[in-house]
Structure 1
Amino acid sequence: MPKSKQRSKGTGSIYQNSREQWVAAIEAGWTSRGTRRRLTLKARTEVEVRARLTDAQLRIATEGPAASFGSVTVKRWADQWLAFRQSVVRPGTFVADRSAVRRWIVPTIGHLRLDALTPSDVRKVAATQEDAGLALATMQRTHAVLGKLLTDAVAEGYQVSQRTREAGSPGAGCSPRQSLSVEDATKILTVAAGRPDVSRWVAALVEGLRPAEALGLTWGMVDLDAETMTLAWQLKALPYVEFRNPESGFRVPRGFECRHLHGAYHLVRPKTRAGSRVIPLVPWLVDALGSWAEQAPSSSSGLVWPQDDGTPRPAELDRRQWYDIVEEAGVTVTLPDGRTRHPLLYEARHTAATLLLANGIDETTIKAILGHSTVLSTQSYLHTDRTRTRAALAASAEMLGLGG
């Protein structure tokens, strides 16, 4: 059997085994049990195995000893990644990441080794979702999760080729969300006016509140005398540590600020600093909230728009009430492919932005009102220019016949 020349200590060894394969071996750190970890590489020729050994030596020198350069599958790494992920991202983000991993990534490519992944494997995940009829936005989200999973694997010391990590996304497309016309928004408000909680829907269509912001708004954050409201919390149902097991406690990442209300519902801080803001109330909404305060269900948490029993209003119920209103109003939106559907609740927020644009309101003011993260100092902007934001919202209310 051919023997290779003696190599310097610590640089690895090269030999040919009984199956006539060329083998390179090098020490790559220590195992969790304190024993030496030996990395073994194989190739058909001595030249190829020398190249692989050189590559491994370079990676060890630049990235440190790897946990493993080849034997870990996507599923095994994904399980480790999710366990770490739950402690560093917002609960909603973790739930979405876990869903993408367990429903699509692992079933499609979980059996493959990280170091053997190819761009076609990445595309296979998107193809599986497309065959299942999923929306492009969902495919893009899953692709982003897979990209993060693979990038973190490399940071941990695993080998994933750069061309695999840079595999193209499923494509770019227009957002399916649309804004409503003034006529349609007015129809919706006409129907909503017959409800005692009409203020909830004006807050969406004129003030541009996110659904979670509206459901998490408390009376302590509403100042009817100053005609302002402070948006500093959102209502979210946090996941349990064990699925559907309240006794297991809640899955809360490090440094995550939240206040427990009822059941799984918590008040949580917005994702970005710009999400916390103080915005003026249009005069019509001031009167509507004053009236609602006298008849709203009593809430131990002080919620402005709770359920009839005073507990937090679930997002599903909130959306269902919105759909009841738009259906009675006879409002639909037409998609680019010609299909029609009822407008989504979140499209009320898009409508608020469109109304502001139609009134010639500058982009900075709109971002400050809506709480977009591109505004670097929303609080200071609103404090120094409250007159401008108040006038902007009043103009939107006027367009919808709420000028009083």
Structure 2
Amino acid sequence: MIRWIQRRNWLPEAALAAFVFLLLGGLDLITQGATAMFGSFAIAASFLFVRKLSYLASLLVLIAAAIQISFSLLPIFGSIGIPLLAFVVGAFSPKPWREINFVVSIFGGLVFAANVAFNPTINLAIFGGVVQLDDVGRVVIFITLSLLAISLVSLLWILGQLLITRLVHVGTEFDRLVYEEKQLKLSVELAEQSKRFEIARDINETVVQKLSSVITNAEGGIYAAKSNPEAGFRALEKVLDSARAAHTELRRLFDMINRGTAASTAPPTLADLENLAISMREIGLDVSVSNFGERFALNQSAELAIYRIIFEALQNVKQHNPAGTKAAVEISWLENGLQVLIKDNGVEIERRAVVGPGGLPVPYEAKDDLDTLLEKVSGPGLTAMRERAESFGGSLEVQRVVGIGFTVSAMFPSSGVSATSDTAS
């Protein structure tokens, strides 16, 4: 569910905002009229801007508080959405707005507590009477409700942070099971290889002895041939026997070392990308993999090259971007070829961490667009990826997306990567 939310822009926020407004705003419309409903609308609309334009979420909560205070409204049902907003903010808002929106949510909870305690127009006639409170009673109610509001908002905000941290940096239960299975397989393969190397060491000693015999017989044959040609031939026969024996042992050594290699070091395929994504999540990079179109068979060499391009691109994202960066691998299977996109939002995450004047994110400037157009992204890793793509008739481009991050785009013609082309060649 969380992965589904992370991979879609605006849709989850819009659905949650609509649910909060229809439920809580409808109750406010019935009980207090349109003014209270507008307060609930402001709180519901704040859910739209939890991930993007996060400063608007704070502004809308403050607007809802101002509506309640200005019109001396009874506590609105929309205030129930503030703890839920704190949870969503803790899970999905970027820094520093995660903390700022948390403080604003606390303020919204305090406004609710003050509205209950000090609103002079509180009238509970719909429940059968009017509540009469003295000043001390109102202060006690305010302090009690304030502590409850702060505790509830803080608890849900922390739970939101724990949820997203567990998902991104620890992984889901499925991720951990896959990771543990891979570790178990590697442990078994390592134990097997250790036994093979023990046997190989014994075979190696035999080979050394055989080769020493070859050298000794060859040297003796040289001297014997000078005085007795027949003795030289006999020495050569011994050299040949020793060489054949050494060759046999070397073949045994080769087979022993490489036994099981086909199973343990089989080249990765695009079907292994989900496992790669899980491994990346284990080290802190949130990776998603998507396929579009009807898949066709690839020849083994091309599939390995494409996998290596994706792997190297993700390694670059992890190495050169701050924590919290997300990467998306999109593979489009086309009629005439294959397109691979590796996108990240590292620039966006880095920019969000820098607060400009007024507490807002640093704005984009025309210079940013110009630098993006003129900048040529290069490096030995990118050169290697480009060469891999070109070796199969493809091309690879790297482009900075203004304010977002980098996109690696690789295009391959079907004539260069499909299994049919491999068969034809």
Query: Fold match, TM over 0.5?
Result: no
TM-score, structure 1 as length reference: 0.21
Greater radius of gyration (CA): 2
Higher relative contact order (CA 8 A, sep 6+): 1
Q: TM-score, normalised by structure 2?
A: 0.20
Structure having the larger proportion of residues in helix: 2
Question: Higher strand proportion, which one?
Answer: 1
